[in-house]
Amino acid sequence: MNTETIKARLKQQKIETPSWGYGNSGTRFKTFPAPGAASTVWEKVEDAAFIHSLTGIAPSVALHIPWDRVEDYSELKKHAQDLGIQLGAINPNVFQDVQYKLGSVTNPDAAVRAKATQHLLDCVEVMKQTGSRDLSLWFADGTNYLGQDDLRKRKRYLREALQQVHDRLPEDGRMLIEYKLFEPAFYHTDLADWGLAYLHAVSIGEKAQVLVDLGHHAQGTNIEHIVSTLLDAGRLGGFHFNARRYADDDLVVGTTNPLELFAIYLEIVQAENDPSEALRKHVSEVAFMIDQSHNIEHKLEAMLQSVLNCQEAYAKALSVDFDLLTEAREQGEVLKANRIVMDAFYRDVRPLLRELREEQNLPADPYAALEESDHLKKVLRDRQSSDVGGGFPS
Amino acid sequence: MNTETIKARLKQQKIETPSWGYGNSGTRFKTFPAPGAASTVWEKVEDAAFIHSLTGIAPSVALHIPWDRVEDYSELKKHAQDLGIQLGAINPNVFQDVQYKLGSVTNPDAAVRAKATQHLLDCVEVMKQTGSRDLSLWFADGTNYLGQDDLRKRKRYLREALQQVHDRLPEDGRMLIEYKLFEPAFYHTDLADWGLAYLHAVSIGEKAQVLVDLGHHAQGTNIEHIVSTLLDAGRLGGFHFNARRYADDDLVVGTTNPLELFAIYLEIVQAENDPSEALRKHVSEVAFMIDQSHNIEHKLEAMLQSVLNCQEAYAKALSVDFDLLTEAREQGEVLKANRIVMDAFYRDVRPLLRELREEQNLPADPYAALEESDHLKKVLRDRQSSDVGGGFPS
Amino acid sequence: MNTETIKARLKQQKIETPSWGYGNSGTRFKTFPAPGAASTVWEKVEDAAFIHSLTGIAPSVALHIPWDRVEDYSELKKHAQDLGIQLGAINPNVFQDVQYKLGSVTNPDAAVRAKATQHLLDCVEVMKQTGSRDLSLWFADGTNYLGQDDLRKRKRYLREALQQVHDRLPEDGRMLIEYKLFEPAFYHTDLADWGLAYLHAVSIGEKAQVLVDLGHHAQGTNIEHIVSTLLDAGRLGGFHFNARRYADDDLVVGTTNPLELFAIYLEIVQAENDPSEALRKHVSEVAFMIDQSHNIEHKLEAMLQSVLNCQEAYAKALSVDFDLLTEAREQGEVLKANRIVMDAFYRDVRPLLRELREEQNLPADPYAALEESDHLKKVLRDRQSSDVGGGFPS
Amino acid sequence: MNTETIKARLKQQKIETPSWGYGNSGTRFKTFPAPGAASTVWEKVEDAAFIHSLTGIAPSVALHIPWDRVEDYSELKKHAQDLGIQLGAINPNVFQDVQYKLGSVTNPDAAVRAKATQHLLDCVEVMKQTGSRDLSLWFADGTNYLGQDDLRKRKRYLREALQQVHDRLPEDGRMLIEYKLFEPAFYHTDLADWGLAYLHAVSIGEKAQVLVDLGHHAQGTNIEHIVSTLLDAGRLGGFHFNARRYADDDLVVGTTNPLELFAIYLEIVQAENDPSEALRKHVSEVAFMIDQSHNIEHKLEAMLQSVLNCQEAYAKALSVDFDLLTEAREQGEVLKANRIVMDAFYRDVRPLLRELREEQNLPADPYAALEESDHLKKVLRDRQSSDVGGGFPS
């Protein structure tokens, strides 16, 4: 691809930022209040819009319900649109109510399951008001001890709840089923891996898709292989981007192993370039979202860095010489194929991105723009730094 | 369950031992020759029959082709039957020919793919001669470097080969699709996890089932959860039992974490006790097989210990008080449910098993019987200890 | 060893329970309030004494400062003694003050380092008042990003603080240096593994010892090997017992892999039986402590189960036939040596322990005794169930 | 640093390649013969010299004894010197003799221990003849089963052997103690981690140093932290570079996570820049060596790629703006410090390296030079492709 084509593709890139990434969050040991952290959904939307104004590629913000519950979602939608962004995926929270101690939709108690399912259905209603396409489902459900519960029974409970929700989704709506190896459950997690999310999605229906969170895999897992598998199967709903070395560390995207982020975007680009129209359509619908938890970082700086790291990874992936690559692969030239891909990874795309931003009247240096911005001054001055803010996990 | 019921169930237990477990095997650093190791398939069948004579629960032996190739399989079948056992699963080897360096059924070269597929089809013919129900498929296929090959293309190649083989299986035959996280491929493996094996199996047809090898998972993976999932989905074809702490260590079954082996049998027992007839039928068809590699152990002793550890695990799982367990689960009594299960695990079932053996005219102490046996003396005396024996990986 | 010797040894066993294990604790997602959880240190000491009254082997309780800070420690000491137990290890908390966001004794800011060190020194004063032998040191210090800080500089800061504290310890006091692979730091942890704790301990002085927490290792780590190494080097200060499968899951001791707990006690027993008087003295000083976090479990039940699982593991380890074992090892009989050890593991020691308890006028069935106890009724009735209790991590 | 300083530093860089990297090697499943692979030590030295002629930074070759045993080492030394390189570290092999099945220097049998120790001492004599500074020690020693052997006894056996060897080293000689988590031992490895290697080194004497192999750690381990620790303690002897995702995959250096290789070089550069003269002297003595196993790659291409990836990583690490970095660290600017480091990582240093090569009359494009070389043509034409070559693990 020539530079102009690459730029054109880069202008289409979209990254959704999460409302909860603008509020305080922490580890189980401590939530340190972050200076200028947002505490209301209105402030979070303002922060998301500000990040979009710096980057041009973060045009929507995901919501978490009930953290971001408001009386009138049309008002919130208007607030976002006035600031130049959209409301994005709706994320129901079914893990903080005291009744969910032993699970939500897989709880042994039918009343708790019903309550959790109702909350999911309520969130479908929210989608309709916010105009959101995606219901993004993460469950903390699981057990801590061998024998604690009946694994097959829980699987059926989960299926029932997901099916009900699926059948109430709006015409163009989707549900994204997220999986996670562990935490907060430490023996088994009802949706432990992509295989389980896929198994449910296929049985439930066309609107059920799989969500890949980069921090939710066992050590050694090849995530880009999962991405390619789900793309090929037509079930890649979207991503929750973040970085990790140990567990679900939820760090700034691309900081632990930038080659992995690049490898994921490489699968995306190959699908975008594929001759199959169905595959190209499928990949065009994938939701690219950030989900990270800041324990010691400045909120806006962390989100900006994550968004820009996604942009760099995509720009590098677009730079691969795919004709050469195909030839090397067909010839079985193992290391040459690797070097063709690595050549793109080692390309310094920052000058190109600076150029791209200037063409779009965006700040050439977004970090400097953040540092000098009125928005930053304002939030540092005006917002109550609070230990019990609206962030994650609050 | 009362003791008599438990004994009756234990008398139905079956463990298939692998021919390659009786020959020399090693690590990439060295294959140490084991005294008395078998080097022909005829000897391996004799060893397998001997293990069955000690335990009463190892009535069949799995074959690896071409390692165990013979001119006339009916003769081999008769040899086994004369010794009191059956020929079991057929395991095609498509990883040691020099052409398979970059893969077998997923090789970029069509000629290599065709050759590999033909070998699988040839093994289907062997099944018909040996009377084997199961074709057990493990592929070493994968890549070592990012970019080396096209992941989606390889997925399609794999599907094509599996479909061809499936469609040629005997009426009552099955194919067991084994997955493995890594080794010998170190970037991606075409069948990396149960999700991939399941995805293919479901698309291919009813005779395609998933094979769970205990050593093929990422660190932390809850294997019994996978077992329960596959049982519920009707796709648990069988097991390759062994033990591991680090990678695919292929140690004697039950030596690293005996609680895990027990937990797996606990899922089996719960399925066997399930009200659903379909589930009970499905679990009754599961193939329980050992697959281990002995680097420093005596072959017969290692196999005996593995078989007996499976028996102990099953006996303990049968001892769970399921009525109490169900009640505790329904009440959400987290630790009580765990203790009910652990009570069975901590039960010393060895006196019961000794009694069981005596009832069946089996040696009360199989280890002593091995040590004093003529068979052991004979193999130590007669067999050439060789560094290039017919074992795994030879 | 004969039964009487085993019983005599079991009567010497001691397990220290942690005050914070009796209060509320949770994951980063949620702290669910536990019915009857203690919220003051006085209540926690009562709970610890109650657990001791049920088991006879939990005669002390560890304190966390400032969570358990009181005006007059002699009063608290008397409270404990009146209830039949002692105050145990003092655990300084230098991870929850807002100034510790970037570290405590390794913080880049000298004022913060001084503050943290001062808190450690204050805790040395507490030791003198409580009569505690051990200062148990865990630091959350580390970084989240490559480049964030100077690793060697932080190492030197840590050394300076530890040295100061060491030099102020009481005559018979010790400091236990705990290590942890990760969490809450996700790039590097200043005390990441036993090697670092050991390196510091050796340089600092004789009173510096290493603390092994069972949940603080990388996947696959052989913990009993570390235990044997530290015993041999004279630097095993003590244990924080808990169970884990994934990360620092902090579950009830012995629930994930009971063989590992047994293997650790096996190293202890072998050291206790060693001909070297120095080694026997060293092992006699090891502190056996529980450190776990209950997210969904009942507090008292969880602690009781942990204490009893330690007792069973020790009883099994004492049951090994060491003469046979030594012989098998010297003969290089790999699997026989393993089976000798496993024979002890599979022994059902519960009848023996019941007998032991009866001899000591302890409840034969501690779980039943807990369930029927006035103490349980009282705490469920009287204690405020609170979401902001004094537990860990509060 | 300005460009000229960076270039001057790059001209000092040295990477030692291993003789066994030029011969055939494989996994436990199969050793595929590589076209043009060397089979004698004379050929391996020629290949190493050729790689040096392409890169200018690979001026020595490590030997493995007995694989590379010759009658007259002075002749081999002259052969190397005539080709423009030196003989480097001597690597004794004590894992392939049949007597080493249960260990070499830690074997329960005293005669086997003596034999292994004698081989190490013989290798010290080889060092004197080859003029090698370093004896590089890797032991396969360990056990496969709980209970198999006495861990503390084996630790003492290991110490005795190491001490004897240390005391016979040449005046300026060193011994590098390598550690490895697992493989080929699967229960415990006598030198399992850096802590054990360090503990022994410190007790043994000044010539004992620790060797860090990038593939020998548990999942998640922060290797650069270990590097910084050993540098600070004056015990970093050297590296065995390679890449891995799962176990000890032994892939081409820098292919799995190039950021990790950069992070390691960053610690090296910071030590080289340190005000402490002792530290600068220590880091100047570190041995940078490659140790990899090619299963499917072309030998010369793989080695070239590894050497060049080391060069790129070092060039990037030299490009960090350390003044800015120090300031950001002192201010606690977490993400700014990270970005300063990442700025250097994302720098495309390939134009600089091309310039550097041209200044040194080296091929500007080493891959093209390899492809067009007479050496490549010659080895492909003349060398017997053999399945039983002199490579690793042969």
* CA angle centred on B334, ends B331 and B335, rounded to 5°: 125
Tell me the mean pLDDT in the region C331-344: 98
Interface of A with D (CB under 8 A): 219-220, 222, 245-246, 252, 255-260, 296-298, 301-302, 305, 312, 334-336, 338-339, 342, 345-348, 350, 367
Is C251 strand, coil or helix?
strand
When CB atoms are compared, the residue of A27, A187, A251 closest to C183 is A27
* Other beta carbons within 10 Å of B383: 17
A255 to chain C: nearest residue by CA? C145
Give the whole-angstrom CA distance, residue C246 versus residue A293: 20
When CB atoms are compared, the residue of A148, A150, A232 closest to B338 is A148
**A156/chain B closest Cα distance in angstroms:** 9
Set of chain B residues whose Cβ sits within 8 Å of the Cβ of A141: none
Contact B220 A181 (CB under 8 A): yes
Q: Quote the DSSP letter at residue C69.
A: -
Give the whole-angstrom CA distance, residue B232 versus residue A8: 48
When CB atoms are compared, the residue of B181, B217, B332 closest to A108 is B332
Give the whole-angstrom CA distance, residue A285 versus residue C115: 53
A317 to chain B: nearest residue by CA? B147
pLDDT of residue D120: 98
Contact A335 B102 (CB under 8 A): no
Kindly compute the dihedral angle of the four CA atoms of residues B219, B220, B223, B225, in this order, to the nearest 10 degrees.
-150
Contact C301 B335 (CB under 8 A): yes
Which helix H or strand E contains D136, and what residues bound it? Answer: strand D134-137
When CB atoms are compared, the residue of A30, A183, A246 closest to C95 is A30
pLDDT of residue A385 exceeding 80: no
Mean pLDDT computed over every residue of chain B: 96
The pairing of beta strand D134-137 with beta strand D174-178: parallel
What is the residue-wise DSSP string for B46-74?
A: HHHHHHHHHHS---EEEEEETTT--S-HH
pLDDT digits (tens, 9 = 90+) for B20-53: 999 999 999 999 999 999 999 999 999 999 999 9
Give the whole-angstrom CA distance, residue C25 versus residue D190: 38
pLDDT grade for B385, boundaries at 50, 70 and 90? low
A256 to chain D: nearest residue by CA? D259
pLDDT of residue A394 exceeding 90: no
pLDDT grade for A336, boundaries at 50, 70 and 90? very high
Give the whole-angstrom CA distance, residue B53 versus residue B370: 10
Give the whole-angstrom CA distance, residue C306 versus residue C237: 20
- The rounded percent of chain C whose pLDDT value lies above 70 is 97
Give the whole-angstrom CA distance, residue C200 versus residue C357: 42
Full 3-state SS string of C10-64:
HHHCCCEEEHHHHCCCCCCCCCCCCCCCCCCHHHHHHHHHHHHHHHCCCCEEEEE
Interface of C with B (CB under 8 A): 219-220, 222, 245-246, 252, 255-260, 296-298, 301-302, 305, 312, 334-336, 338-339, 342, 345-348, 350, 367
pLDDT grade for B122, boundaries at 50, 70 and 90? very high
Backbone dihedral angles phi then psi of residue B65, each to the nearest 5 degrees = -115, 125
Which helix H or strand E contains B213, and what residues bound it? Answer: strand B208-213
Count residue pairs from C and D with Cβ separation < 8 A.
Answer: 152
The answer for A253, left when phi > 0, alpha when psi is -120 to 50, beta otherwise, is beta
Subunits with 3+ C-beta pairs closer than 8 A to D: A, B, C
Identify any residues that bridge with B86 across adjacent strands, giving them in sequence order.
B60
The HSE-up count of residue D394 (CA atoms within 13 Å, CB side) is 18
Count residue pairs from B and D with Cβ separation < 8 A.
Answer: 104
Contact D350 A348 (CB under 8 A): no
Give the whole-angstrom CA distance, residue D26 versus residue D5: 41
Q: Is residue B19 part of a domain?
A: yes
Q: Is residue D381 part of a domain?
A: no
Backbone dihedral angles phi then psi of residue C95, each to the nearest 5 degrees = -135, 5
pLDDT of residue D370 exceeding 70: yes
Full 3-state SS string of chain A:
CCHHHHHHHHHHCCCEEEHHHHCCCCCCCCCCCCCCCCCCHHHHHHHHHHHHHHHCCCCEEEEEECCCCCCCHHHHHHHHHHCCCEEEEEEECCCCCHHHHHCCCCCCCHHHHHHHHHHHHHHHHHHHHHCCCEEEECCCCEECCCCCCCHHHHHHHHHHHHHHHHCCCCCCCEEEEECCCCCCCCCEECCCCHHHHHHHHHHHCCCEEEEEECCCCCCCCCHHHHHHHHHHHCCEEEEEECECCCCCCCECCCCCCHHHHHHHHHHHHHHHCCCCHHHHHHHHCCEEEECCCCCCCCHHHHHHHHHHHHHHHHHHHHCCCHHHHHHHHHCCCHHHHHHHHHHHHHCCCHHHHHHHHHHCCCCCCHHHHHHHCHHHHHHHHHCCCCCCCCCCCC
- Answer for the pair B231, B274: CB distance below 8 angstroms, yes or no: no
User: In the block, which residue shows the tokens 């404990």?
Assistant: C80
Give the whole-angstrom CA distance, residue D18 versus residue D23: 10
**D190/chain B closest Cα distance in angstroms:** 15
Contact C329 D148 (CB under 8 A): yes
Give the whole-angstrom CA distance, residue A46 versus residue D293: 54
When CB atoms are compared, the residue of A27, A101, A249 closest to C296 is A101
Q: Is residue D61 part of a domain?
A: yes
Contact C247 A29 (CB under 8 A): no
The interface predicted TM-score of the complex, written ipTM, equals 0.96
pLDDT grade for A1, boundaries at 50, 70 and 90? confident
Query: Which of A221, A306, A348 to mutate to probe the D interface, most D CBs <10 Å?
Result: A348
pLDDT of residue B393: 39
pLDDT of residue D385: 61
**A205/chain B closest Cα distance in angstroms:** 16
pLDDT of residue C394: 33
pLDDT of residue A377 exceeding 90: yes
Backbone dihedral angles phi then psi of residue A175, each to the nearest 5 degrees = -115, 130
For the record, the structure tokens of C93 come out as 């908390």
Set of chain A residues whose Cβ sits within 8 Å of the Cβ of B146: 224, 259, 263, 266, 338, 341-342
pLDDT grade for A386, boundaries at 50, 70 and 90? low
Set of chain D residues whose Cβ sits within 8 Å of the Cβ of B184: 27-30, 295
User: Cβ contacts of residue A26 below 8 Å, gap of 6+?
Assistant: A32, A293, A295, A393, C28
| CATH (domain of A80) | 3.20.20.150
Estimate the crossing angle of helix B73-82 against helix B41-55, to 10 degrees: 30
pLDDT digits (tens, 9 = 90+) for B291-330: 999 999 999 999 999 999 999 999 999 999 999 999 999 9
Subunits with 3+ C-beta pairs closer than 8 A to C: A, B, D
Set of chain A residues whose Cβ sits within 8 Å of the Cβ of D258: 259, 345
Identify any residues that bridge with A243 across adjacent strands, giving them in sequence order.
A251
Give the whole-angstrom CA distance, residue D13 versus residue D312: 11
Burial of residue B164, with CB atoms counted within 10 A of its CB: 0-12 exposed, 13-18 middle, 19 or more buried: middle
When CB atoms are compared, the residue of C252, C259, C335 closest to B257 is C259
Least Cα distance to D123 among D163, D77, D169, D157 occurs for D169
Domain range for residue B127?
Answer: 9-315
pLDDT of residue C73 exceeding 90: yes
Query: Which of B28, B32, B217, B259 to mutate to probe the D interface, most D CBs <10 Å?
Result: B28
Identify any residues that bridge with D238 across adjacent strands, giving them in sequence order.
D211, D287
pTM: 0.97
How many structural domains does chain D have? 1
**C275/chain B closest Cα distance in angstroms:** 29
Least Cα distance to D217 among D205, D209, D208, D225 occurs for D225
Estimate the crossing angle of helix C299-318 against helix C334-346, to 10 degrees: 130
pLDDT of residue C390 exceeding 50: no
Tell me the mean pLDDT in the region C227-244: 98
pLDDT of residue C386 exceeding 60: no
pLDDT of residue C284: 98
- First-to-last alpha carbon distance for chain C, in angstroms, is 45
**D383/chain B closest Cα distance in angstroms:** 18
Least Cα distance to C95 among C67, C132, C69 occurs for C67
When CB atoms are compared, the residue of B145, B247, B296 closest to D144 is B296
Tell me the mean pLDDT in the region D333-359: 98
pLDDT grade for C384, boundaries at 50, 70 and 90? confident
The HSE-up count of residue D304 (CA atoms within 13 Å, CB side) is 24
Query: Which of C20, C25, C28 to mutate to probe the A interface, most A CBs <10 Å?
Result: C28
Give the whole-angstrom CA distance, residue A320 versus residue C33: 53
**B234/chain D closest Cα distance in angstroms:** 31
pLDDT of residue B273 exceeding 60: yes
The answer for B65, left when phi > 0, alpha when psi is -120 to 50, beta otherwise, is beta
Least Cα distance to C273 among C284, C263, C285 occurs for C284
pLDDT of residue A168 exceeding 70: yes
Q: Is residue D204 part of a domain?
A: yes
Contact C225 D199 (CB under 8 A): no
A244 to chain D: nearest residue by CA? D220
When CB atoms are compared, the residue of D199, D334, D340 closest to C198 is D199
Q: Number of H helices and number of E strands within chain C? A: 15, 10
**D331/chain B closest Cα distance in angstroms:** 38
Mean pLDDT computed over every residue of chain D: 96
Identify any residues that bridge with D137 across adjacent strands, giving them in sequence order.
D177
Contact C350 B346 (CB under 8 A): yes
Q: How far is CA A241 from CA A225, A256, B102, in A?
A: 16, 12, 32
Type of residue found at D154? R
pLDDT of residue C1: 84
Q: Is residue D170 part of a domain?
A: yes
User: In the block, which residue shows the tokens 């003789």?
Assistant: D19
pLDDT of residue B386: 57
pLDDT of residue D384: 74
Cα four-point dihedral sign D42, D48, D52, D55? positive
User: Cβ contacts of residue D92 below 8 Å, gap of 6+?
Assistant: D65, D119, D120, D122, D123, D135, D137
Subunits with 3+ C-beta pairs closer than 8 A to A: B, C, D
Contact B102 A267 (CB under 8 A): no
* CA angle centred on A256, ends A254 and A260, rounded to 5°: 60
Q: Alpha-carbon Rg of chain B, whole angstroms?
A: 21
Query: Which of D67, D144, D187, D251 to mutate to probe the B interface, most B CBs <10 Å?
Result: D144
C299 to chain B: nearest residue by CA? B335
Contact A30 C245 (CB under 8 A): no
Give the whole-angstrom CA distance, residue A19 versus residue A27: 18
When CB atoms are compared, the residue of C221, C229, C334 closest to D145 is C334
**D380/chain A closest Cα distance in angstroms:** 16
Give the whole-angstrom CA distance, residue C311 versus residue C356: 11
Tell me the mean pLDDT in the region D17-42: 95
For the record, the structure tokens of C228 come out as 């044997």
User: Residue-wise over A52-70: b if at least 16 C-beta within 10 A, else e?
Assistant: bbbbbbbbbbbbbbebbeb
Tell me the mean pLDDT in the region D262-284: 98
Give the whole-angstrom CA distance, residue D161 versus residue D141: 13
Tell me the mean pLDDT in the region B150-176: 98
Contact D257 A257 (CB under 8 A): yes
